[in-house]
Amino acid sequence: MLSTSCAQQKQKFMDDSTAVLPGVVRVVGKIKNKNADQFVLTIQEVIESGQGLINAPAPGQDLTVGFDASMKELEVGQTIRADMKERMGVDASQSSYVIIQYNKSR
């Protein structure tokens, strides 16, 4: 009998049926500005949020979000659906977000 642990199973790509983890928010937003490792995302819709968010984004808000090298294909003006992880600053009133996964919207 073969079995696999959760760490060995391929994670399902993000869609509406994928659960949102604690500290994560799923949004639809439009990329407004972009530089080497972050961009400004205008939040159009908050789809779902996990437990434990301190400073949840709101529609119409501009957020500076971090991203990794695999996301350099994203361009200004594109609309994306993204899962963003909240990172707390030194002060709890200051947090930042980093995109952990995304889909390009059509």
pLDDT digits (tens, 9 = 90+) for 34-83: 988 889 999 999 999 989 888 889 999 999 998 888 778 888 999 999 99
Output the average pLDDT for the chain. Answer: 82
Read off the DSSP letter of residue 52: T
The number of residues in the chain equals: 106
Q: pLDDT > 70: what percent of the chain? A: 83
Task: Report the distance separating Cα 44 and Cα 79, nearest Å.
Answer: 9
Q: Which helix (H) or strand (E) holds 10?
A: none
Q: Of 59, 73, 72, 71, which is closest to residue 30 (Cα–Cα)?
A: 59
Domains and CATH numbers, the chain: 20-104 (2.40.50.140)
Type of residue at 99:
I
pLDDT value, residue 2: 45
Four-CA torsion 4, 15, 92, 65, nearest 10 degrees: 110
Residue 53 has a CB neighbour count (10 Å cut-off) of 18
CB 43 within 8 A of CB 27: yes
